[in-house]
Amino acid sequence: MNLKLHVWRQKNANSPGRMVTYEAKNISPDMSFLEMLDVVNEDLIHRGEEPIAFDHDCREGICGTCSLVINGIPHGGFRATTACQIHMRKFKDGDEIYIEPWRVGPFPIVRDLMVDRSAFDRIIQAGGYISENTGGAPDGNAIPIPKEKQETAMDAAACIGCGACAAACKNGSAMLFVAAKVSHLANLPQGQPERFRRVLRMVERHDLEGFGSCTNQSECEAVCPKEISVKFIAQLNRDYLRASLMSARDAE
Is residue 199 within 8 A of residue 236, CB to CB? The reply is yes
How far is 179 from 234, CA to CA, in rounded Å? 8
Determine the CATH number of domain 3-111: 3.10.20.30
Residue 137 has pLDDT above 90, yes or no: no
pLDDT of residue 135: 66
Q: How far is CA 50 from CA 85, 99, 102, 136, 202, in A?
A: 25, 17, 21, 53, 39
For the chain, give every domain's residue range. 3-111, 117-251
Q: Rounded to the nearest 10 degrees, how much is the dihedral formed by the CA atoms of 210, 215, 220, 226? A: 100
Q: Which residues pair with 106 in a beta bridge?
A: none
Residues 6+ apart with CB under 8 A from 180: 156, 157, 158, 159, 228, 232
Q: What phi and psi, each to the nearest 5 degrees, are found at residue 8?
A: -75, 125
- Residue-averaged pLDDT of the chain: 94
* pLDDT, tens digit (0-9, with 9 covering 90-100), for 87-111: 999 999 999 999 999 999 999 999 9
In CATH terms, are 3-111 and 117-251 the same topology?
no
* pLDDT, tens digit (0-9, with 9 covering 90-100), for 170-191: 999 999 999 999 999 999 988 9
User: What is the mean pLDDT of the segment spanning 119-128?
Assistant: 97
How far is 46 from 214, CA to CA, in rounded Å? 46
Q: Which CATH superfamily is domain 117-251 in?
A: Alpha-helical ferredoxin (1.10.1060.10)
pLDDT of residue 248: 79
